[in-house]
Amino acid sequence: MGKKRRVTEIALQGPQTLDIAGEAVPVTIRINPRARRHLIKVEPSTRSVILVTPSKRSVESALDFAKEHKDWIAEEVAAVPKGTPFKPGSIIPFLGEDHEIVHHPRARRGVWAEDGAINVSGAAEHIERRVLDFLKVQAREALVERAYANAETAKVKIGRLCLRDTTTRWGSCSCSATLSFSWRLVLAPYWILDYVTAHEVAHLRHLDHSDRFWAVVDKLIPWTDDAEEWLEKNGALLYSYGREG
């Protein structure tokens, strides 16, 4: 959510990894001229390290900086929730409620949610893809419903609505009035999904985080603080679903 900074990502020759507690952790280098110093981030969706540095000339020193902070990186990587693949027996949240993935090989109903289960028919090798497709369809339906309802209340128009699997933000708004959302919001409680749509709809009126922007958000959704707190506490967990341990 919010305005996206211009960041140029560069690929270094050969795979870049750091040995963290005996595990080869992937490293991505990003050049951001606005950065005043080296920054280290641990990506919760991939358990990888992102190094942000001001210029190409500072790449080597950025890697040295990361090595000097291996203990901190190890703690951050260890704190990333273990993955939960979309396989039979896995428990995943659907609109905030835990559901077990149940395989029905002889059924002909596709995928459906019922009585605390996400039921999947067909061949076993297609289960993960079918669950993912089901969640994306459900996410689009819920996001379209709430985004357009909030837009009507705010008296603004949405140009286009896109679904993505973003790793750094739950939603975004472009200057062309395109709203983009993470499909993973369908894993969160409905009121969280509703908040994120309201946040991005408010950007259609104010493409910043000014007091005027937050005034629009508060008119649409009165539980902003609770939603921000929930995402801060539980957001990383949403990235663990659909990923191997």
Q: How confident is the model over 16-36, as a mean pLDDT?
A: 83
Rounded distance, CA 217 to CA 196, Å?
A: 10
CB 154 within 8 A of CB 135: no
pLDDT in tens, 190-220: 999 999 999 999 999 999 999 999 999 999 9
Side chain identity at residue 114, one-letter code: E
Q: Give me the mean pLDDT over the 113-141 stretch.
A: 97
Q: Which of 88-92, 181-185, 224-228, 233-237 has the lowest mean pLDDT?
A: 233-237
User: Rounded to an integer, what distance in angstroms lies between the CA atom of residue 74 and that of residue 198?
Assistant: 36
Mean model confidence pLDDT for the chain: 90
Per-residue pLDDT at 13? 41
Does this model's pTM top 0.85? My answer is no
Whole-Å CA distances, 213 to 179, 194, 200? 16, 17, 10
> First and final CA of the chain: distance in angstroms?
28
Q: Which of 181, 184, 159, 163 is nearest to 172 (CA)?
A: 181
Residue 2: its pLDDT value, please?
Answer: 45
What is the C-alpha separation between 29 and 51, in angstroms, rounded? Answer: 5
Domains of the chain as residue ranges with CATH: 8-79 (no CATH), 91-238 (3.30.2010.10)
* Predicted confidence (pLDDT) per residue in 4-15, tens digit: 444 454 444 445
Q: How many CA atoms lie within 13 A of 190 on its CB side?
A: 7
In this prediction, residue 55 carries a pLDDT of 87
- In the prediction, which pLDDT does 42 show? 86
- Least confident among 76-85, 104-113, 148-157, 224-233: 76-85
pLDDT at 245: 66
Band (60; pLDDT cuts 50, 70, 90): confident
